[in-house]
Structure 1
Amino acid sequence: MIWLTILAMTLLVFASRYLFLEPKLPLRLNPQAQKLLSYSSPAVLTSIWAPIVFLPGGEPGFSFSNPYLIAATVAALVAWKLKNVLLTAVISMTVFFLLSYIPLFV
């Protein structure tokens, strides 16, 4: 049953991607639908990172001892100022590592 579910989900994902990415198919979305779909990636990414950053351990973590919140804030500031994805990822991961694994707040 698990293999059948995995196969069905694989076919569903492939078919949905193929329909929109194959240039020879006559399927085109109108501009309103394209604009609506442009919001889906930020919405999905926000639904992934927001609980991790704001609810570590399942409860609100708005404090200076929350490495997720501090690293996310640093990442937002670096991305805003430098506009460089690679540098933003490296700097924010370094900040998170330093806050998580090196006891600065002893």
Structure 2
Amino acid sequence: MSWALILAMSIIVFCNRYIFLEPRIRLKLPHILQRMLHYSAPCLLTAMCIPVIFYDAQQFRPILTNAYLYAALATCAIYLMTKHLLTSAILGFISFYLLYYGVFTA
């Protein structure tokens, strides 16, 4: 990659973020675009988590011994029961630790 390309991409990213974060710039997005942006965080989180849960390097993790999958399902279930993000994250970490180092040790 050339330095010019890196510099150009840095300027583009900075300008995109500056427009939305600068309070003096009055940018009003259409209602449909605002509704669509509500889904960006869950989509990004899904795109980041799915490969970690289901793939180990270049191969598919076995479903029956996949501690990542069971911990993710436990975390989702805990969140649906409690509706408290911090509690579900902490209990999800604990469930992953117990599954990974306790139940599914080789």
TM-score range, shorter chain: 0.7 to 0.9
Question: How far apart are the structure 1 equivalents of 2:83 and 2:60?
Answer: 32
Identity %: 35
Amino acid paired to 1:34:
Q
Q: CA deviation at 1:82?
A: 0.6
Q: Which residue of the partner structure matches residue 62 of structure 2?
A: 61
List gaps (5 residues or longer) in structure 2: none
What is the root-mean-square deviation of aligned Cα atoms in Å?
2.3
Q: TM (normalized to structure 1)?
A: 0.79
What number of residue pairs does the alignment pair up? 105
Q: TM (normalized to structure 2)?
A: 0.79
Q: Is the 8 A contact 1:55 1:61 kept in 2?
A: no
Choose 37-46 or 73-82, whichever is displaced more.
37-46
SS in 2 for 1:28: coil
Q: CA deviation at 1:12?
A: 3.2
Question: How far apart are the structure 2 equivalents of 1:61 and 1:3?
Answer: 43
Residue by residue over 1:11-59, the C-alpha shift from the partner in whole angstroms, topping out at 9 and shown as x without a partner, is 4333212201222113221111111222111111101111221334421
Q: Which residue of the partner structure matches residue 83 of structure 1?
A: 83
